[in-house]
Amino acid sequence: MTKPIYILNGPNLNLLGTRQTPIYGAATLADLDARTSARAKGAGFATVFRQTNREGELVDWIQEARERASAVIVNAAAYSHTSIAILDALLAVDLPVVEVHLSNIHRRETFRHHSYVSAAADGVIVGLGAQGYELAVDAAVALVQSRAAKAP
């Protein structure tokens, strides 16, 4: 059986749909869960969709993914710009990693332009709103399939 794709979300994303909608859009976290689950199911994958406001919990989930997931999609939110711990966990996961952000972090405040997560990601999707999550699923599936095709 194919392992699920872990979709891990960081701080304040639980407020989606009500927080700064001109930046983050009207979709809620539940909407993103439903959209990504449907997209993954269409490709033969399940998802594990989680959100936390705690850095250590995000690290724990990334480490859990090492054994239980086929790929990781991560929106570490503000931790993207600050967390070496999350970077180190992602570097140790040895799975395809796709970073996603609802907003275009490169068009925002200067401190958001750098993402530690990007150093561990196979690909980065920014600025496409909720659709970015669906594209991240497509990318994760393609990366998993590519690795499987290259495996001995």
- Catalytic residue numbers? 24, 101
Smallest CA-to-CA distance from 89 within 112, 52, 121 is with: 121
70 φ/ψ angles, rounded to the nearest 5 degrees: -95, -20
Say how far apart CA 74 and CA 58 lie, in whole Å.
9
Rounded Cα distance between 19 and 28, Å, is 10
H or E element that contains 47: strand 47-51
Cβ neighbours of 78 (radius 10 Å): 15
